[in-house]
Amino acid sequence: MRKFDTVLVTGGCGFIGTNFIKYIFDKTNYKIINIDALTYAGNIKNLIDIENKDRYFFERVNICDAKKVNSIFEKYKPDCIVHFAAESHVDRSIFGPKNFIDTNIIGTFTLLEAARNLWKDNSDGKLFHHISTDEVYGSLSDTGYFYETTAYDPRSPYSASKASSDHIVKAYYHTYNLPVTISNCSNNYGPYQFPEKLIPLMISNIIEEKDLPVYGDGKNIRDWIFVEDHNNAVFDIIHNGRVGETYNIGGENEITNIDMVNILCEKLAYKMNKDKDYYKKLIKFVKDRAGHDRRYAINCDKIKKELGWQRQYDFNTAIDITIDWYLNNKEWVYDVKSGEYQKWIELNYSSK
């Protein structure tokens, strides 16, 4: 089992990165460095509980800025990098792909170069872990699964940029012997997810009794995993994963979008003392997303067999935890949706 002194997390103010930092901070005594550009998706207030701890450090850095990235690597000398930072929303990639190409491809390349330079004399026990998505594999019909060996077939600018970064990470392993691992995970849900993604968007719109827009016929299938299960898989990989390997992570929990929206409507109706179908009248089918992948489903036997990973949460429990988090954190939702948070960031962090 590998052990580290200093773990550098990129994108630690985003949804999964925030949850990961909280998780690894609790589970270890590692020094944790969080580098994040604080885009619209990054919220520094998520980590207020640990911001003053002496083994946590935050640096506002754009991962495409090689000079700054190199100086941060020199300053902290991390022995593990867990790379979450990305532009992550498929719809935004359709309307404006450039940021996706910059951050997801150039940003990953910049980090790989910085790691290669930092570890050039000795890379024993070091690790660069790259977080990726099942969307790189393309779309499935009604049957079949994505395996680690499935050929890449990305369809959106988002998934194409992630596929590209995965290939570059693998190339650094084969060409320069950089110690890397990669994980490709299915759709996450849980606390701190920006309310433009399906589950938090629907929860926050239900709370506000706004329309619930569902793409196309609503029959697109996603394999949903609770964010903590994703993160404990990443934790297992960085400690015990084989260098050079890819691991699929999935929730083994396929649900159509329309079923998910109905479940959320019913669960919130129960929590708000309304009739079971009260919120379903808000559902509005809208024009389908361009190139909308029909079905994703992950086979995650490899990580189970090799690393003994098993997801800890069943869907029913974890979706309740998620809904309750949004009900208890309406101010967080208001802040990020209204732009109030961005104003606060520019006032407090523009020169940092």
Ligand X SMILES: NC(=O)c1ccc[n+]([C@@H]2O[C@H](COP(=O)([O-])OP(=O)(O)OC[C@H]3O[C@@H](n4cnc5c(N)ncnc54)[C@H](O)[C@@H]3O)[C@@H](O)[C@H]2O)c1
Contact residues toward ligand X (CB under 6 A) are: 11, 13-17, 36-39, 41-42, 62-64, 84-88, 103, 107, 131, 133, 162, 185, 187-188, 194
In degrees, rounded to 5, the angle at the alpha carbon of residue 68 between the alpha carbons of residues 64 and 69 is 65
87 in catalytic set: no
Distance CA 189, CA 203 (A): 12
Please tell me which residue in 135, 148, 223, 228 is annotated as part of the active site.
135
306 in catalytic set: no
In whole angstroms, what separates CA 81 from the centre of its chain? 15
Q: Which is nearer to ligand X, 36 or 79 (CB)?
A: 36
With CB atoms as reference, the residue minimizing the distance to ligand X is 14
Q: Which is nearer to ligand X, 228 or 279 (CB)?
A: 228
Sequence-separated (6 or more) residues with CB below 8 Å from residue 304: 310
Please tell me which residue in 87, 134, 148, 293 is annotated as part of the active site.
134
135 in catalytic set: yes
Residues labelled catalytic: 134-135, 158
